[in-house]
Structure 1
């Protein structure tokens, strides 16, 4: 198996660690360990008591129960904790798919949601989200795309990079369409609780026997460096992923599992402030769009902390984004990383003052 380079990750390697202002990432502002200890009431003695031995293959009992209670159906047997959502995606798709299978996947999409299938020798049928439709998914088209060779429908809502999401009735229709067709529904829910005009959507595991949902502490909880993700699925499928995991990461660290358990039990304490900050930044972005309507336009993001605006007069925004990074130390992600080069991924989850400065610099560059 040989993977092609992932354009998004290549871009982030270039500029993520050197940029002074980040308006391109898709998560909220990061927390420190001191922040976690203060917010969650973690005492030094609790950390000192952790023995750094091996953990179990699917995760320790406490962290699996905490994840099941917060994000799943309450059944810890349906939980596997992983090294971020990326490991969960890789393990699940590599276990589920065989060469010659087909999947239906959203376009644009986060790269690993499609590249794993392609590298395994599977066909990927694109289910496009179109700006002219307000990035509302076409369920009629989904029905047409599913055929006898379809093994899974792969989605991520709220969506990266557009900020699109589903109304509850649309969520129910998606679950029903895939369940009736007898295909797996692989739902990346990295941004599940980052919603701006409604409540988080119900996990599909409640009403779809072949649902597989994937989550992470990286995006909505400001803990990308903790590298904690999870997969919620039928216990038999989780067990089959271990043949691959036994040759990769084996398990998580008990220290990481301890912190993840406390975060899951106190998730609202971390989420509330960061979501409020993102919504304030979104209002700043709306005003910036109104003030700069001659050079940019966007479909309103309904979830997550990124938008996918079009920059007028730029058929390919890549050089503009290079210029922002090199001359102004501003990280912005070109739409070419998601197959739509006239757009950019613009993240609004970070601190308010740098976000406003980054928008100001972007506006000045666009008006030169």
Structure 2
């Protein structure tokens, strides 16, 4: 099986530990274990529940409490439809591994998280790229989708909101997308790790809109806990049973400790979302002010989604610029060519505020060499 190197992960593996100001990531500033333990009734009560637990395999598909908390995130999902995975990457892989065969036709949003294009290719599928467009707020055209779709299209893959741009398909857009997929009976796989935190904005999960919709998610982005590798996939009962069979070949369990922490985090999600909403709102305002003053940067602003994609007006290849920026200023971005979009860079504006402020100042100082 042939597969391309994973551009973003390869970049981060190479350079992340060299950063002084890491503003490349797409998570919201991570919680400490101390902060997690203070949620709810406090550390002592939580430890009294945790310390007696045996470090055996635990619940294979995720504990009943975990499944119940995940099901609450959706309108039409029962706990029996929830399967715990190794992050959203494990959830995406499981769905693709179980459904895609050689010769299948898959349509994938592009550029997006690389799994959604290159895993289907590695499994022998023909993949049509559904291009996002900056002039349309980094959304792809539904008219283009109608041109790409075929009677035998097996699956449409989306990332909502999009990585790296933060572009968001709203309810009306998703409803039309479902209508297009229904005409040929195509599955829709939706990676939904980037929940928008804009007040009053509710984006439905694809599993709640479409019987052949598959929603994947994790605690890594919106919930600020990438340190436990817990995600999930939710789908209809028939698909969930199919995924169970394939899941046995990819993992046993998420682990007793990780399951316990994940369940605790989800039980107190409102507190975390309130904290994270403030981070997103304050940091996005800071970035908007910075972009307004920085002549060599422009940005289609995300709707309180934790990733953004700046455009750089510089006479230099993007990756070499980012390497020099890191080596000379300690600032880490992800160059846009890692998403096949040279001239741009992923800016993780939901880093801790002091890191963001210092990183943006150093980036502006570095950009002055071109003036």
TM-score (norm 2): 0.94
Bigger mean CA offset, 358-367 vs 39-48: 39-48
Contact 2:284–2:349 (8 Å) recurs in 1? yes
Aligned to 1:309: 310
Q: For the residues of structure 2 that align with 1:356 and 1:72, how far apart are their CA atoms?
A: 39
CA spacing shift, 1:197–1:181, aligned 2, 3 Å = farther
Q: 1:83-98 alignment to 2 at 5 Å?
A: 83-98=86-101
Which ranges in structure 1 are unaligned for 5 or more consecutive residues? none
Structure 1: distance between partners of 2:40 and 2:183 = 43
Contact between 2:299 and 2:310, CA under 8 Å: does it hold in 1?
yes
Counting only pairs closer than 5 Å after superposition, residues 49-60 of structure 1 correspond to structure 2 as 49-60=52-63
Task: Report Cα offsets for 1:279-327 as digits up to 9, x if no partner.
Answer: 211111111111113x111112124212112101346310111012112
Equivalent-residue separation in structure 1 for 2:58 and 2:236 (angstroms): 21
C-alpha contact (below 8 Å) 2:22/2:355 kept by paired residues: yes
**Equivalent position of 1:69 in the other structure:** 72
In 2: Cα distance, 1:71 partner to 1:35 partner: 26
- Note if 1:350 corresponds to 2:359: no
Alignment of structure 1 residues 36-185 onto 2, 5 Å? 36-41=36-41, 42=43, 43=45, 44-71=47-74, 73-185=76-188
Q: Which residue of 1 is the match for residue 27 of structure 2?
A: 27
Q: Name 2:338's counterpart in structure 1.
A: 337
CA RMSD, 1 decimal: 1.6
- Structure 1 CA distance for aligned equivalents of residues 268 and 309 of structure 2: 31
| Partner residue, 1:254 | 256
Cα distance in 2 between the residues matched to 1:23 and 1:151 = 37
**Deviation larger for 304-313 or 208-217:** 304-313
- Match 1:244 to one of 243, 246, 249: 246
Do the aligned residues in 2 keep the contact of 1:106 with 1:129 (CA within 8 Å)?
yes
Partner of 2:13: 13
**Are the aligned partners of 2:132 and 2:139 in contact in 1 as well (CA < 8 Å)?**
yes
1: distance between equivalents of 2:127 and 2:252? 29
1:40 Cα deviation from its structure 2 partner: 3.1
In 1, Cα distance between equivalents of 2:221 and 2:58: 25
Does structure 1 retain, via aligned residues, the 8 Å contact 2:57–2:255? yes
Q: CA deviation at 1:259?
A: 1.3
* 1:287 pairs with 2:289: yes
The answer (yes or no) to whether the contact 1:70–1:265 under 8 Å persists in 2 is no
Q: Compute the displacement of 1:166 (Å).
A: 2.1
Partner of 1:223: helix, strand, or coil?
A: coil
SS at match of 1:40: coil
